[in-house]
């Protein structure tokens, strides 16, 4: 199996333009990264995240911890088996919040990597995809109820404290501090603020065609005016929103990557995109209204999910339906471990 870096030239120039007598520097363009393949982990694998020196991998119904302190020799440690398929998870401190289809939300203690332990769970009305947390408030996506809010002060017995029905088919959410960003299919972005006591209603709603279906990430743009940017992946490509004003989110652009965007993470002003048949694509967001591909890594099989920590990149590649295929267990997939070399 061969994997090749994708070369992109001229990505480090700083441009200037003149208007009258004022010379205004453009935002700096991020340096072009390149990668080398250092190892791979055999499947099964669906989703992957980095946290505190460990990789966390879900595959069908299994949530696993992998020691990647020596990235050339990854070692699988403990795991937890759910009764239903895992659709997604988020990590916070020593906890993982796992959306496991009709099982609901599982709260996993990951303080001992050799023995991840289920502390508590919550069975929502429909299919739970993913959950995220601020203080003791968890927001989760349920395909019937929309956004469901839980109090997990008692982790063994999460208690529902509210919900909000999205207009369409609830897809994904991410929390950044007290702000919750949720999307439905096909049209909506909803912003909630859970810093005040509930019940919670959206503080901002944006009806945008072909809203992102998965993999939401929020970051603060560096080198600009501190804009707060929300990214989403889906059939319409990489979508970029300015959410600096929670009450008035705006869509900046939908950017067509070379492949089909499946998942993404952000490092600095760069988006690392698992881009289906196009492998790993690196997109510079220094100018969020005009994203540009500045590099990547070619893979022989479709890239499905991605995680980044320091100079390491984990990339899930393999066949099968990209998301939610109940008939596919991920055994034909692997996790590539890449090291950034520049």
Question: Residue 319: what pLDDT?
Answer: 81
pLDDT above 60 (res 53) = yes
Token couple for 231: 């990214």
Q: Residues in the chain, how many?
A: 342
* Residue bearing tokens 């992946």: 233
**pLDDT at residue 201 greater than cutoff 50:** yes
- Tokens 């990235």, located at residue: 71
Position 136 scores a pLDDT of 93
- State how far the Cα of 145 lies from the Cα of 166, in Å rounded to an integer: 8
User: CA 260 to CA 240: how far, in whole Å?
Assistant: 16
Share of the chain above pLDDT 90, in %: 73
Could you tell me the sign of the dihedral formed by the alpha carbons of 214, 220, 225, 227, in that order? positive
pLDDT of residue 234: 82
Encode burial over 9-44: b for 16+ CB neighbours within 10 A, e otherwise: eebeeeeeeeeeeeeeeebebbebbbbebbebbebb
What's the sign of the alpha-carbon dihedral 34, 275, 336, 128? positive
Question: What count of other Cβ atoms lies within 10 Å of the Cβ of residue 169?
Answer: 15
Mean of pLDDT values over 157-175: 92
pLDDT above 60: residue 224? yes
Q: Which domains does the chain have, with CATH numbers?
A: 4-340 (2.130.10.10)
First to last CA, the chain: 23
Region 307-325: mean pLDDT is: 80
Q: In this model, does residue 146 exceed pLDDT 60?
A: yes
Residues contacting 155, CB < 8 A, separation 6+: 95, 107, 119, 120
Place 198 in a pLDDT band, splitting at 50, 70 and 90.
confident
pLDDT at residue number 322:
44
Contact status, residue 84 vs residue 61, Cβ threshold 8 Å: yes
For 232, the token pair is 């989403």
What is the full DSSP assignment across 147-192? EEEEE-SSTTS-EEEEEE--SSEEEEEEEETTEEEEEEETTEEEEE
Q: Which tokens belong to 190?
A: 């909803």
Distance between CA atoms of residues 154 and 9, nearest Å = 53
Instruction: State the pLDDT confidence band at 226, using cuts at 50, 70 and 90.
Output: confident
Neighbours of 313 (CB within 10 A): 24
pLDDT of residue 197: 83
10 or 138, higher pLDDT: 138
The pLDDT value recorded for residue 325 is: 45
């Amino acid at each position: 199996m061969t994997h090749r870096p994708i070369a992109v030239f001229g990505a480090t120039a700083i441009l200037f333009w003149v208007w009258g007598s004022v010379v205004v520097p453009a935002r700096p363009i991020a340096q072009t990264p390149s990668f080398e393949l250092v190892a791979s982990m055999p499947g099964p694998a669906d989703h992957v995240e980095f946290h505190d020196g460990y990789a966390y991998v879900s595959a069908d119904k299994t949530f696993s911890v992998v020691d990647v302190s020596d990235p050339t020799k990854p070692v699988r440690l403990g795991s937890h088996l759910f009764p239903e398929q895992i659709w997604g998870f988020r990590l916070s401190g020593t906890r993982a919040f796992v959306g496991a289809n009709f099982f609901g939300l599982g709260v996993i203690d990951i303080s001992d990597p050799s023995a991840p332990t289920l502390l508590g769970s919550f069975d929502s009305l429909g299919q739970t995809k993913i959950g995220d947390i601020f203080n003791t408030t968890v927001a989760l996506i349920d395909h019937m109820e929309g956004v469901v809010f839980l109090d997990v002060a008692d982790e063994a017995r999460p208690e529902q404290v509210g919900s909000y029905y999205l207009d369409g088919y609830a897809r994904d959410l991410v929390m950044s501090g007290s702000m919750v960003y949720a999307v439905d299919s096909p049209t909506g972005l909803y912003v909630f603020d859970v810093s005040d006591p509930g019940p919670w209603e959206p503080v901002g709603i944006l009806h945008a065609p072909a809203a992102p279906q998965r993999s939401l990430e929020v970051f603060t743009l560096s080198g600009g005016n501190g804009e707060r940017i929300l990214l989403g992946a889906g059939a319409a490509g990489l979508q970029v929103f300015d959410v600096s004003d929670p009450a008035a989110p705006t869509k900046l652009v939908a950017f067509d990557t070379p492949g089909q965007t499946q998942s993404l993470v952000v490092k600095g002003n760069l988006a690392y995109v698992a881009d289906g048949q196009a492998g790993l694509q690196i997109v510079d967001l220094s100018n969020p209204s005009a994203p540009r591909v500045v590099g990547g890594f070619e893979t022989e099989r479709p890239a499905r999910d991605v995680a980044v920590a320091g100079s390491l990149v984990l990339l899930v590649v393999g066949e099968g339906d990209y998301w939610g295929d109940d008939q596919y267990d991920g055994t034909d997939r692997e996790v590539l471990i890449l090291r950034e070399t520049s």
